Structure 1
Amino acid sequence: MEYDPISNVTCRLQLESGWELILNQLEQSQTYAGMLEGVPDKKANDWGIDVDLRRAARREYTLGEPHLIPPRRREYQHEPGDMEQERVRRAHYPTEWERDPEWIPQVCCIGCFRSFPPVNDPEKHGSCLTVVWYQDDYALPIDPEVLRLLKQLDWDSLATDFEC
Structure 2
Amino acid sequence: MTEPSTIKLASGREIAIGRIYQSRAYEGLIEGLPTRERNARRIPYFCNKAQNLWKLKVHLIEPSETPIEYDGKYPFGTPAMLPGTVCFGRFSSLQPARDKNMDGSELTIVWFQSDFAFPIDAPVLNAIRKLDWEAIAVDYQY
**TM class, shorter-chain normalised?**
over 0.9
Q: Which residue of 2 aligns with 1:119?
A: 97
For residue 63 of structure 2, what is the aligned residue in structure 1?
71
* Alignment partners' CA distance in 1, 2:76 and 2:88: 32
Query: What secondary structure, in the 3-state scheme, does the structure 2 residue paired with 1:108 have?
Result: strand
**SS at 1:59 equivalent:** helix
Q: What is the identity percentage for the equivalent residue pairs of Structure 1 and Structure 2?
A: 34
Q: CA deviation at 1:116?
A: 1.1
Shift of 1:124: 1.4
SS of structure 1 residue aligned to 2:31: coil
Are residues 98 and 55 of structure 1, via their aligned partners in 2, closer, same or farther at CA, if it must alter by over 3 Å? closer
- With structure 1 as the length reference, what TM-score do the two structures score? 0.80
Q: Which runs of 5+ in 2 are unaligned?
A: none
Aligned partners of 2:78, 2:112: CA distance in 1, in Å?
21
For residues 73-93 of structure 1, give each alpha carbon's deviation from its aligned partner in whole angstroms, at most 9, with x where no partner exists: 1113xxxxxx33xx34xx4x7
SS of the equivalent of 2:105 reads strand
Paired with 1:153 and 1:19, the residues of 2 have a C-alpha distance of 10
- Aligned CA distance change for structure 1 residues 129 and 2 (closer, same or farther; 3 Å): farther
After superposition, the Cα gap between the structure-2 partners of 1:12 and 1:2, relative to the gap in structure 1 and judged at 3 Å, is farther
Once the 2 structures are TM-superposed, how far is the Cα of residue 63 of structure 1 from its aligned partner? 2.3
Amino acid at match of 2:56: L
Distance 1:2 1:13 in 2: 13
- Mapped to 1, the partners of 2:108 and 2:65 lie a distance apart of 22
Whole-angstrom CA distance in 1 between matches of 2:11 and 2:51: 25
Residues in 2 aligned to 1:134 and 1:115: alpha-carbon distance in whole angstroms: 22
Per the TM alignment, residue 99 of structure 1 is displaced from its structure 2 partner at its CA by 2.1
What SS does the corresponding residue of 1:99 show, helix, strand or coil?
coil
**Is 1:148 aligned with 2:142?**
no
Residue 35 (structure 1) aligns with: 29
* Alpha carbons 1:2, 1:11 under 8 Å: kept: no
Gaps of 5+ in 1: 4-9, 77-82
Aligned to 1:79: none
TM-score normalised per structure 2: 0.92
In 1, Cα distance between equivalents of 2:123 and 2:110: 14
SS in 1 for 2:67: coil
Aligned residues of 1:75 and 1:101 also touching (Cα < 8 A) = yes
Match of 1:80 in 2: none
Which residue does 1:136 correspond to in 2? 114
Partners of 2:2 and 2:93 lie apart in 1 by 15
